[in-house]
Amino acid sequence: MITKNKLKNPIFCIVAMNENRIIGDGKKLLWHLPGDLKRLKKITMGSPLIMGRKTWDSIGRPLPGRANIVLTNSISWRAEGAIVVNSFEDAIFRADQWIDLNWKIDQKIVQKKIFLFGGAEIYKIGLKYCDNIEMTKVNFNLKAGIKFPKLNETDWEKTKLQHNLATNDVPEHSFWHYRRIV
Protein backbone atom coordinates (compact mmCIF):
# COMPACT_ATOMS: atom_id res chain seq x y z
CA MET A 1 0.00 0.00 0.00
CA ILE A 2 1.15 3.53 -0.78
CA THR A 3 1.33 6.03 2.04
CA LYS A 4 1.99 9.72 1.45
CA ASN A 5 4.94 9.97 3.82
CA LYS A 6 6.67 7.12 1.97
CA LEU A 7 6.48 8.73 -1.48
CA LYS A 8 9.90 9.03 -3.07
CA ASN A 9 8.84 12.01 -5.20
CA PRO A 10 5.96 14.39 -4.42
CA ILE A 11 2.79 14.17 -6.50
CA PHE A 12 1.33 17.45 -7.78
CA CYS A 13 -2.15 17.67 -9.22
CA ILE A 14 -2.80 19.78 -12.31
CA VAL A 15 -6.33 20.57 -13.45
CA ALA A 16 -8.57 23.08 -15.22
CA MET A 17 -12.20 23.25 -14.11
CA ASN A 18 -15.22 25.52 -14.18
CA GLU A 19 -17.12 26.85 -11.18
CA ASN A 20 -19.10 23.55 -10.98
CA ARG A 21 -15.87 21.49 -10.97
CA ILE A 22 -16.51 20.29 -14.54
CA ILE A 23 -13.27 19.21 -16.26
CA GLY A 24 -14.53 17.70 -19.53
CA ASP A 25 -17.36 15.81 -21.21
CA GLY A 26 -15.71 12.39 -20.97
CA LYS A 27 -14.11 12.58 -24.41
CA LYS A 28 -12.44 15.98 -24.50
CA LEU A 29 -11.95 19.33 -22.80
CA LEU A 30 -14.79 21.81 -23.20
CA TRP A 31 -12.73 24.91 -23.84
CA HIS A 32 -9.62 25.90 -25.72
CA LEU A 33 -7.27 27.98 -23.60
CA PRO A 34 -3.98 28.41 -25.46
CA GLY A 35 -2.42 30.26 -22.49
CA ASP A 36 -3.35 27.44 -20.14
CA LEU A 37 -1.85 24.81 -22.45
CA LYS A 38 1.39 26.81 -22.53
CA ARG A 39 1.38 27.01 -18.72
CA LEU A 40 0.64 23.29 -18.43
CA LYS A 41 3.57 22.50 -20.72
CA LYS A 42 5.94 24.70 -18.73
CA ILE A 43 4.83 23.28 -15.38
CA THR A 44 4.92 19.60 -16.36
CA MET A 45 7.93 19.48 -18.70
CA GLY A 46 10.52 16.94 -17.52
CA SER A 47 8.11 15.07 -15.23
CA PRO A 48 6.09 11.88 -15.35
CA LEU A 49 2.34 12.33 -15.86
CA ILE A 50 -0.16 9.83 -14.49
CA MET A 51 -3.37 9.78 -16.51
CA GLY A 52 -6.38 7.57 -17.10
CA ARG A 53 -6.83 5.73 -20.38
CA LYS A 54 -9.76 8.01 -21.33
CA THR A 55 -7.61 11.10 -20.90
CA TRP A 56 -4.90 9.47 -23.01
CA ASP A 57 -7.53 8.79 -25.70
CA SER A 58 -8.70 12.40 -25.54
CA ILE A 59 -5.16 13.64 -26.23
CA GLY A 60 -4.37 10.89 -28.72
CA ARG A 61 -0.57 11.10 -28.55
CA PRO A 62 2.21 11.19 -25.97
CA LEU A 63 3.13 14.61 -24.58
CA PRO A 64 6.80 15.07 -25.43
CA GLY A 65 9.51 15.57 -22.80
CA ARG A 66 7.40 13.82 -20.17
CA ALA A 67 6.68 10.21 -19.20
CA ASN A 68 3.10 9.41 -20.23
CA ILE A 69 1.97 6.83 -17.70
CA VAL A 70 -1.49 5.49 -18.53
CA LEU A 71 -3.73 3.57 -16.14
CA THR A 72 -6.03 0.95 -17.61
CA ASN A 73 -7.69 -2.22 -16.33
CA SER A 74 -6.89 -3.92 -19.62
CA ILE A 75 -3.88 -6.21 -19.68
CA SER A 76 -3.58 -6.02 -23.46
CA TRP A 77 -4.03 -2.27 -24.14
CA ARG A 78 -0.96 -0.69 -25.72
CA ALA A 79 -0.21 2.65 -27.36
CA GLU A 80 3.00 4.03 -28.78
CA GLY A 81 4.63 6.40 -26.32
CA ALA A 82 2.51 5.27 -23.36
CA ILE A 83 3.86 3.50 -20.28
CA VAL A 84 0.92 1.23 -19.49
CA VAL A 85 0.09 0.29 -15.90
CA ASN A 86 -2.77 -1.58 -14.23
CA SER A 87 -2.60 -0.04 -10.76
CA PHE A 88 -1.93 3.35 -9.19
CA GLU A 89 0.85 1.79 -7.13
CA ASP A 90 2.60 0.66 -10.29
CA ALA A 91 2.07 4.11 -11.83
CA ILE A 92 4.03 5.66 -8.97
CA PHE A 93 6.69 2.97 -9.16
CA ARG A 94 7.17 3.58 -12.90
CA ALA A 95 7.15 7.36 -12.39
CA ASP A 96 9.91 7.11 -9.72
CA GLN A 97 11.87 4.79 -11.96
CA TRP A 98 11.59 7.25 -14.90
CA ILE A 99 12.76 10.13 -12.71
CA ASP A 100 15.77 8.14 -11.42
CA LEU A 101 16.81 7.09 -14.89
CA ASN A 102 16.36 10.47 -16.56
CA TRP A 103 17.81 12.43 -13.64
CA LYS A 104 21.11 10.68 -14.34
CA ILE A 105 20.92 11.82 -17.96
CA ASP A 106 19.72 15.43 -17.67
CA GLN A 107 19.30 17.18 -14.34
CA LYS A 108 18.56 20.48 -16.05
CA ILE A 109 15.32 19.19 -17.52
CA VAL A 110 14.05 16.49 -15.19
CA GLN A 111 11.91 17.57 -12.24
CA LYS A 112 11.72 15.36 -9.19
CA LYS A 113 7.94 15.49 -9.05
CA ILE A 114 5.07 13.50 -10.49
CA PHE A 115 1.90 15.02 -11.94
CA LEU A 116 -1.59 13.68 -11.38
CA PHE A 117 -2.88 14.54 -14.83
CA GLY A 118 -6.52 13.39 -14.71
CA GLY A 119 -9.23 12.67 -15.55
CA ALA A 120 -11.73 12.47 -12.75
CA GLU A 121 -11.16 8.78 -11.98
CA ILE A 122 -7.45 9.35 -11.58
CA TYR A 123 -7.91 12.53 -9.51
CA LYS A 124 -10.24 10.53 -7.27
CA ILE A 125 -7.56 7.90 -6.64
CA GLY A 126 -4.55 10.18 -6.37
CA LEU A 127 -5.64 13.44 -4.78
CA LYS A 128 -5.04 12.19 -1.24
CA TYR A 129 -1.32 11.91 -2.05
CA CYS A 130 -1.09 15.53 -3.29
CA ASP A 131 -0.14 18.54 -1.18
CA ASN A 132 -0.14 20.89 -4.16
CA ILE A 133 -2.63 21.60 -6.93
CA GLU A 134 -1.93 23.75 -9.97
CA MET A 135 -5.47 24.84 -10.74
CA THR A 136 -6.98 26.80 -13.61
CA LYS A 137 -10.45 28.14 -12.87
CA VAL A 138 -12.45 28.72 -16.04
CA ASN A 139 -15.51 30.93 -16.25
CA PHE A 140 -17.57 28.56 -18.36
CA ASN A 141 -21.28 28.11 -17.81
CA LEU A 142 -21.98 24.37 -17.65
CA LYS A 143 -23.47 22.16 -14.95
CA ALA A 144 -23.15 18.64 -16.36
CA GLY A 145 -20.02 16.72 -17.22
CA ILE A 146 -17.08 14.91 -15.70
CA LYS A 147 -16.32 16.43 -12.30
CA PHE A 148 -13.18 16.99 -10.26
CA PRO A 149 -13.64 15.58 -6.72
CA LYS A 150 -15.01 18.01 -4.15
CA LEU A 151 -12.21 19.49 -2.04
CA ASN A 152 -12.50 20.22 1.63
CA GLU A 153 -11.97 23.97 1.16
CA THR A 154 -10.47 24.59 4.61
CA ASP A 155 -7.69 22.06 3.97
CA TRP A 156 -6.08 24.30 1.34
CA GLU A 157 -4.28 27.61 1.22
CA LYS A 158 -5.19 29.23 -2.08
CA THR A 159 -3.03 31.69 -3.97
CA LYS A 160 -4.26 33.42 -7.09
CA LEU A 161 -1.36 33.76 -9.48
CA GLN A 162 -2.84 35.35 -12.59
CA HIS A 163 -6.18 36.51 -13.93
CA ASN A 164 -6.96 36.46 -17.65
CA LEU A 165 -9.94 38.36 -18.98
CA ALA A 166 -12.08 36.85 -21.74
CA THR A 167 -11.07 37.52 -25.30
CA ASN A 168 -12.99 36.65 -28.48
CA ASP A 169 -12.81 32.83 -28.29
CA VAL A 170 -11.22 32.35 -24.89
CA PRO A 171 -13.29 32.45 -21.69
CA GLU A 172 -12.13 34.33 -18.62
CA HIS A 173 -9.85 32.15 -16.50
CA SER A 174 -7.36 32.39 -13.67
CA PHE A 175 -4.36 30.42 -12.45
CA TRP A 176 -4.19 29.29 -8.83
CA HIS A 177 -1.85 27.38 -6.59
CA TYR A 178 -3.44 25.33 -3.81
CA ARG A 179 -1.24 24.11 -0.97
CA ARG A 180 -2.52 21.61 1.57
CA ILE A 181 -2.35 22.98 5.10
CA VAL A 182 -3.89 20.11 7.07
Ligand X SMILES: NC(=O)c1ccc[n+]([C@@H]2O[C@H](COP(=O)([O-])OP(=O)(O)OC[C@H]3O[C@@H](n4cnc5c(N)ncnc54)[C@H](OP(=O)(O)O)[C@@H]3O)[C@@H](O)[C@H]2O)c1
Contact residues: ligand X, CB under 6 A: 15-17, 23-29, 51-55, 58, 71-74, 77, 86-88, 117-122, 125, 146
As to burial, measured by CB atoms within 10 angstroms (0-12 exposed, 13-18 middle, 19+ buried), residue 160 is exposed
Comparison of 105 and 162: residue with beta carbon closer to ligand X? 162
Please give the Cα distance from 72 to 85 (Å, whole number): 6
Least separation in angstroms between residue 105's CB and ligand X is: 28
Comparison of 46 and 134: residue with beta carbon closer to ligand X? 134
Other C-beta atoms closer than 10 Å to the C-beta of 93 total 15
Enumerate the β-bridge partners of residue 18: 138
Question: Among candidates 106, 102, 99, which has minimal Cα distance to 12?
Answer: 99
Enumerate the β-bridge partners of residue 180: 156
Comparison of 102 and 121: residue with beta carbon closer to ligand X? 121
Least separation in angstroms between residue 176's CB and ligand X is: 13
Least separation in angstroms between residue 178's CB and ligand X is: 14
Least separation in angstroms between residue 124's CB and ligand X is: 8
